[in-house]
Chain A
Amino acid sequence: MTLFQSGMIGYYLAGALAISILLFFNRSNRMNYFLTILFVALQCGFTWYAYNHMNTIELIYFTPDSLGVLFLIILCVVSVPAFYHSHIYCNSKQENARHRGIYFSAMVVLLTALSAAYLSNHIAITWIFVEITTLSASALIYHRRNNRSLEGTWKYIFVCSISITLVFIGILFLSVAVQQSGGTDLFYSQLYRKAGGMNVFWLKLAFLFIFTGFTSKAGLVPMYTAGIDAKDKAPSPAGALFGSVLMNVGFIGIFRFYQIISPTSIFPWANKIILITGFLSVFVATVYMLRVKNLKRMFAYSSVEHMGLIMVGLAVGGIGRYAAILHLVLHSLAKPTFFFQMGQVYRIYKSKSIYDIGDYFKYNLSGALVFLFAFFVVTAMPPSGMFVSEFLIFRSLFESGHIVLLVIILLLLTMIIWAFGKNIFKMLFSKPINFNDENLEKINPVESISQFILLALVIYLGLNPPEEFVNMINDIISNLPT
């Protein structure tokens, strides 16, 4: 099939590849702006196209379904401020043109690979694009080119390589199961249809390996560690992408396989595993949140907590599934605000440690307001949309009779809110130690606008979700048995 018959996604992939190559070789600043704007336009146009062509197969391996399109829209919304802040980041550092080229090129590849992984309808194609995200993400993490970013990159690549190998082993086991049920392909739709006849033993093994493998991207126990270092060491705008859209790709990997096994007899068993993983993630996040001193790492651990909650919601079923998807959407819109704002904090204090940062209201009023609002939004206090989704998750826990688990999770969340609030309020109101506030960089309040918009979106989507949005989420979970 040639490119011209392949529909929009062929053009999209080719265009994005061309832009990333041009960005890689380009040395001019103005050209850089132009190319990133071109990519954003391409991305938005493609999202619009995918939204209007739901459930049509393109280029054999891609089908825009509700889940993929929903994530694609989030990716669009988050990528615009990510590019904007990346430009600010590079300008403020007087970046070397070659390094800047690599940075933007890697970011374009990352976003493209994510989009393709969202829309893929074949488990091996998803796998390939997830592998590409590891590659491009590590270029972003290594951007600062010092000892510590090298360490972060090395750990990220190593853990992700091992987990991607685990996913591959899972796919191999799955293919054994497929062969026995008479199938020859690994398309999700076909797997879903054949799943009932597959050998339970192989399916269980496949689930274990694929699930464990994707936890490194989704930020869950046991492979969450790589993501933490990555978000910490990458430049803040890249960290924002890692904390939102990159975690979604892990979720999509898990969720698609979850859908496949939903008609089989191992479904309750898989739910139990997911529930345990989700709970452990919340627990681990709590432990680290209480002692972490680096703000960026704290935000990263908060993501682990939210992913844990999402998995708990997914596993207990009922209204929890709807809430899980809603929570995921809201989390991926809310979490980037912290990272974008962290970029500004770093430019003022030249540090990420809670000991060096303080009195932020005095130095950057708009930024401090962002932190304050974002804190309320992310810890799910009303009127945050995440309050709605978390409340629904708790309701589903209550309805399914997991009372003890509910109480423990609520206790853990209280501790998280306490630790989170302690650090945020310290940075907003207490004076920093030994801080010389002469010759500080003045931050333009305009830079905070993008964060306010994202936060407003979270509140709006939670309190007054548009009908289309609700329909999409209901469509996503419609395949799962009640």
Chain B
Amino acid sequence: MTDILLITFAISLILLAVANRLSSYIKILAFQGILLFGIAFIELIEINWVNLVFVLLETIVFKTIAIPYLLNYVVRKNEITRDTEPYLPDFVSIVLITTIILGSFLLTNTIHDPNVRKIFLVVALSALFTGLYIIVTRRKIITHVMGFLVIENGVFVLSIAVGSVMPMLVNIGILLDIFASVFLLGIFANKIGDVMKEQDVEQLSNLKD
């Protein structure tokens, strides 16, 4: 069951490559939240229940409801146009993200380690690099934040893989999530909207030598 959820997660990464609208990005992020909820529930069922409730709350309340709501709010409030404005055409994106997944698959296959389940590693690494790819190739500041959230999801998958032995790390990962999302998004995306008319990264190129 975990495998199916993880594979679905990887497919949602490919979907990110071709999605053209900000709203579809937000929906995919919410969907990933649900997937993570499922994975966390199955994998972490045997850790103590306080931790478990904490993790489940984080995935459902935070990743699936709060963050997409907040993103929607920021998009509407700042009247950001709905196109994601990639620098590269969709076809290139889909090829590159498939390559990323294939690459992490091959990379992970070189590891000979019975204690680590490879599928977690494959999905986590793919999410990490896909997030970086989105940050690099999209023009809007808000899509940078979304790319970062994809990275966070990847890290969450990774932390679940080691989480049943060290629940503390999962909690810290959640701390990272909350820190990054609330801080980056809630406070900052709002402020940037107040100061700047166009939400392009080109607006953020005054500081240089």
Contact = CB atoms under 8 A, between A and B. Distances in A.
Interface residues of B, number: 37
Interface in B186-209: 188, 191-192, 195-196, 203-204, 206-207, 209
A175 interface: yes
A301 to B, nearest CB: 8
Interface string A266-294: 00000000000000000000001001111
B195 A152 contact: no
Contact of B183 (A157, A201, A202, A297): A157
A148 B206 contact: yes
Nearest to A289: B209
Interface in A128-169: 128, 131, 135, 147-148, 150-155, 157-158, 161-162, 164-165, 168-169
A151 B207 contact: yes
Contact of B172 (A152, A168, A233): A168
Contact of A172 (B162, B175, B188, B195): B162
A172 B158 contact: yes
Contacts of A162: 148, 151
B209 A161 contact: no
A199 B113 contact: yes
A147 B195 contact: yes
A179 interface: yes
Nearest to A180: B115
B144 interface: yes
A127 interface: yes
Contacts of A260: none
A229 interface: yes
Contacts of B188: 153-154, 157
A473 B199 CA distance: 49
Interface in B46-69: none
Given A128-B172, A154-B204, A184 B165 contact: yes
A52 B159 CA distance: 39
A168 B158 CA distance: 10
**Most chain B C-beta atoms within 10 Å of own C-beta, residue among A153, A169, A180:** A169
B1 interface: no
B162 A175 contact: yes
Interface string B19-45: 000000000000000000000000000
Where chain B touches its partner, the secondary structure class is helix
B165 A179 contact: yes
Contact of B168 (A124, A155, A176, A291): A124
A65 interface: no
B176 A171 contact: no
Contacts of B116: 176
A232 interface: yes
B172 to A, nearest CB: 5
A232 B111 contact: no
Contacts of A153: 188
Contacts of B173: 168
Interface string A350-361: 000000000000
Interface residues of A, number: 41
Nearest to B113: A199
B196 A147 contact: yes
Contacts of B184: 157-158, 161
B75 interface: no
Interface string A293-326: 1100100000000000000000000000000000
A387 B174 CA distance: 46
Contacts of B204: 151, 154-155
A303 B173 CA distance: 31
B5 interface: no
B172 A127 contact: yes
B74 interface: no
B133 to A, nearest CB: 13
A158 B144 contact: yes
Given A150-B195, A294-B209, A175 B169 contact: yes
B179 interface: yes
Contacts of A229: 207
A293 B207 CA distance: 12
A233 B168 contact: no
B191 A150 contact: yes
A229 B209 CA distance: 10
Contacts of B166: 175, 179, 184, 186
A172 B169 contact: yes
Contacts of A168: 155, 159, 172-173, 176
A224 to B, nearest CB: 13
Contacts of A233: 207
B80 interface: no
A59 to B, nearest CB: 16
Contact of B176 (A154, A155, A164): A164
8 contacts: A124-B172, A150-B196, A158-B184, A168-B176, A175-B162, A176-B115, A180-B113, A186-B166
Given A135-B183, A168-B159, 11 more contacts: A124-B172, A128-B175, A150-B191, A151-B203, A158-B148, A168-B155, A169-B158, A172-B169, A184-B165, A233-B207, A294-B209
